[in-house]
Amino acid sequence: MIVEICVDSVAAVRAAVAAGAKRVELCAALFEGGITPSRGMIRQARRVDGIGLHVIIRPRGGDFLFDDDEVETMMADIETAKQEGADGVVIGLLTADGRIDVERSRRLIAAARPLSVTFHRAFDMTVDPFEALDTLIDLGVDRVLTSGQDATVLEGLPLITALIERAGNRIIIMPGGGITERNVARIVAGAKPTELHYAALQPVASAMVPRRDHVFMGGELRVPEYAKLVTSADLIRAVRERASSGE
């Protein structure tokens, strides 16, 4: 089974390699669901040997209804990812009525080739998942990342199982969203996926000694200034081992 780890730093890429993951999805701003990382981060991540590198192409958080300027931004970001040696890109565009934005997706896919193309969890916001799946197959997308249109993969397992059955060998259905050491065995037993996507984050306190706890760099919804979430090689291994053992 191919394990893809969602990461937001080069240190996380190294942790994924150490834990035996096959691929990472490189993002910035995981708090927003992931947006396109900088050229510098892509370049440094590509210097880490022994792992596939897919780059998310998403100019902002929020919905997946993009205007012309945002699409052109994504076109440029795809070119950057190709120039920096990425193995694949991750995209997701919808229309206002909750369907796949076929024409714009086709443009991005053509620009990305010969890289692998994943359609991300924008899929989970479509009004008809089976129609969306058929559309993505027609577009030639390589894989779909989905939680089964639910809060977590475990809750969306019935739909994921149905999508895998419908997809056959035409496209990869990659479950992702809320996969943990505790539930992965049930997910693998229920859906029998060939690929899994998850983050393996744990909080780590900042090493900063002087602190001003009353000063914040963000808005009202604040993340801690003196702690961060980092990717844990131990958590990656734990999930992989449970997925393999079925226990």
17-31, 103-117, 188-202, 220-234: which has the minimum mean pLDDT?
A: 220-234
Residue located via tokens 């990305």: 112
Cα distance between residue 111 and residue 157, in whole Å: 33
Cα distance between residue 14 and residue 240, in whole Å: 16
Whether the CB-CB separation of 146 and 121 falls below 8 Å is answered with: yes
- In this prediction, residue 183 has a pLDDT band, given cuts at 50, 70 and 90, of very high
CATH number at residue 73: 3.20.20.380
**Does 125 have pLDDT greater than 70?**
yes
State pLDDT tens for residues 112-121.
999 999 999 9
Cα distance between residue 120 and residue 93, in whole Å: 9
- In this prediction, residue 160 has a pLDDT band, given cuts at 50, 70 and 90, of very high
Buried b / exposed e across 170-196, counting CB within 10 Å, b at 16+? ebbbbbbbbbbbebbbebbeebebebb
User: What was the pLDDT predicted at 89?
Assistant: 98
Question: Alpha-carbon Rg of the chain, whole angstroms?
Answer: 18
Return mean pLDDT, the chain: 94
Q: Which of 13, 5, 10, 19 is nearest to 233 (CA)?
A: 19
Give the number of residues written for the chain: 247
Kind and range of the H or E run holding 180:
none
Domain that holds residue 184: 2-245
User: What was the pLDDT predicted at 226?
Assistant: 64
Cα distance between residue 110 and residue 119, in whole Å: 14
Number of domains, the chain: 1
- In this prediction, residue 221 has a pLDDT band, given cuts at 50, 70 and 90, of low
